[in-house]
Amino acid sequence: MQDAHKAPQGTSVDRAAARTPAQADAAPALSPARLRRVVLVLAVACGMAVANIYYAQPLLSPIARTFGVGQGSTALVVTLTQLGYALGMVVLLPLGDLLENRALASRTLLVTAAALLGAGLSPDFGVFLALSVLVGMTSVVAQILVPFAAHLAPEQQRGRVVGTVMAGLLLGILLARTVSSLVAAAWGWRTIYLVSAVLMIVLSVLLVRLLPKRHPNHTSGYRQLMLSTVRLIPQEPALRRRALCQALMFGAFSCFWTSVSFELISRHHLGQVGIGLFALVGAAGAAAAPLAGRLGDRGHGHWGSGIALALAAVAMVLADVGSGSLVLLALAGVLLDLAVQSHQVFSQREIYGLRADARARVNTVFMTSVFLGGSLATAASGAVHDSYGWSGVTLFGAALPVVGLAVWTVSALRRGRAGGGR
Task: Tell me the pLDDT tens digit for each residue of 164-186.
Answer: 898 888 889 878 878 888 888 88
pLDDT surpassing 60 at residue 372? yes
Neighbour-count burial for 311-325, b at 16+ CB within 10 Å, e otherwise: bbbbbbebbbebbee
What whole-number distance in Å separates Cα of residue 198 and Cα of residue 116? 9
381's CB contacts (< 8 A; 6+ apart) are 254, 255, 258, 259, 393, 396, 397
Q: In the CATH scheme, what is the homologous superfamily, with its name and number, of domain 25-219?
A: MFS general substrate transporter like domains (1.20.1250.20)
What whole-number distance in Å separates Cα of residue 360 and Cα of residue 357? 8
235-269 tens-digit pLDDT: 999 999 999 999 999 899 888 887 887 788 788 88
Length of the chain: 422
Q: Given this model, what pLDDT does residue 241 score?
A: 96
Is 41:206 a contact under the CB 8 Å cutoff? yes
Is 394:320 a contact under the CB 8 Å cutoff? yes
What whole-number distance in Å separates Cα of residue 116 and Cα of residue 180? 14
What is the rounded average pLDDT of the residues 41-54? 94
Strands (E), 277-359: none
Q: In the CATH scheme, what is the homologous superfamily, with its name and number, of domain 230-422?
A: MFS general substrate transporter like domains (1.20.1250.20)
Is 162:153 a contact under the CB 8 Å cutoff? yes
Write the DSSP string, 56-71: TGGGHHHHHHHHT--H
Mean pLDDT is lowest, of 74-78, 81-85, 117-121, 334-338, for: 74-78
Burial of 213 (0-12, 13-18, 19+ CB in 10 A): exposed
Terminus-to-terminus CA distance in the chain, angstroms?
Answer: 15
pLDDT surpassing 70 at residue 13? no
113's CB contacts (< 8 A; 6+ apart) are 197, 198, 200, 201, 204
What is the rounded average pLDDT of the residues 326-341? 91
Higher-confidence residue of 381 and 394: namely 394
Where along the chain do the CATH 1.20.1250.20 domains lie?
A: 25-219, 230-422
